[in-house]
Amino acid sequence: MFRAFTTIATMLTLTGTAMHSDEINVYSYRQPELIKPLFDAFSKETGIDINIAFLKKGLVEKLLAEGDRSPADLVVTVDISRLNSVVEAGVTQSVSSEIMNKNIPSKFRDPDGHWFGLTSRARIIYASKERVLDGEVTTYEDLASSKWSGRICTRAGTNSYNLALTSSMIAHHGKVEAKKWLHGLKDNLARKPSGNDRAQVKAIWSGECDISIGNTYYMKKLLSNKDQRAWAESVRIIFPKFENGGTHVNLSGIALTKAAPNKENAIKLMEWLTGEDAQEIYAEKNGEYPLRPGSNPSELVSSWGKLTPDTIPLITLAKLRPDSLRITEEVGFDE
């Protein structure tokens, strides 16, 4: 059975009962509707209850404050830098699992087993069907070209998704060239960075800009909302690549906490989530890509085109995050 816990009183109760052998406690940055179907299926299959606290911020700080008394067994989150920050805080432990090592490619898991990816998403370009020709933009580097002056919309450069993209640019070209690219991209903005990825697509629909940077799964969100479907229908997805690489991807992932009072059950859930059925259910529900080789994206996601992921290990991007934040602020990208 899936159960949510959010109040301090309930958290304290869980701390005192976390050793029950038939449960797992999860701290999550992912929204309830995205993971509840999976957790319900796991509980039905195994008889293990899952208690979950949905957090908007402060996950690392919470685990540090709780220390060895933490009721949390697992952390579920998005973005490689967030996963890595949990590891660097020293609140996770390594997992050695032949099942997960087989199901999740090495570039999508921590070399020391502290985190494992579950699904991936691509950071792509949404382009106006009316004002952008096929083949007019093919690379991330091209976004700094003057031909796009006043034609690009994006969310804040300091947002974790854009910082990961800038980290990729650093990994491919170095900090100096990445900073030049950010300058060029800023010069091409139609407006000050604001809003989420869906807001950028709305701006294309309304004529404020012609292209935007966004994650693939937002297309599913737009199409699923009757008030936003017109925004989605005004654009097409383009999978840009780095000049010497592929399309930038990020992920959602999971980590076992250092305290983990229900460690055995938690590892069972981790392994189950990397299995074929769970991978396809999770990816289809979220409009993302499964990471398990042989598992297929949904029909909708497949219809957007072929994804050729970049080959730079995500852990490399996580370690470059401080550099990407620094140059983004030096450029004054969000000003």
- Please indicate whether the domains covering 2-120+249-297 and 122-248+307-331 agree at the CATH topology level: yes
Give just the sign of the alpha carbon dihedral 312, 57, 283, 268.
Answer: positive
Element spanning 154, H or E: none
Which of 38, 58, 317 has its CA nearest to residue 172?
317
Q: Where are the alpha helices (DSSP H) in 117-213?
A: 160-173, 175-187, 197-206
How many residues in the chain?
335
**Domain boundaries 2-120+249-297, CATH class:** alpha beta
Residue 181 CA to residue 170 CA, distance in Å, equals 10
Q: Are 47 and 82 in contact (CB under 8 A)?
A: no
Would you write out the chain's pLDDT as a tens digit for each of its 335 residues?
Answer: 444 443 332 333 343 344 456 899 999 988 777 788 889 999 999 999 999 898 888 999 999 999 999 999 999 998 999 999 999 999 999 999 999 999 999 989 999 999 999 999 999 999 999 999 999 999 999 999 999 999 999 999 999 999 999 999 999 999 999 999 999 999 999 999 999 999 999 999 999 999 999 999 999 999 999 999 999 999 999 999 999 999 999 999 999 999 999 999 999 999 999 999 899 888 888 899 999 999 989 999 999 999 999 999 999 999 999 999 999 999 999 99
- HSE toward the beta carbon, residue 44, CA cutoff 13 A: 6
| Fold annotation for 122-248+307-331 | D-Maltodextrin-Binding Protein; domain 2 (3.40.190)
Domains of the chain by residue range: 2-120+249-297, 122-248+307-331
Identify the burial level of 131 via C-beta atoms within 10 angstroms of its C-beta, where 0-12 means exposed, 13-18 middle and 19 or more buried: middle
- Geometric angle at alpha carbon 180, from 176 and 185, rounded to 5°: 145
pTM of the model: 0.88
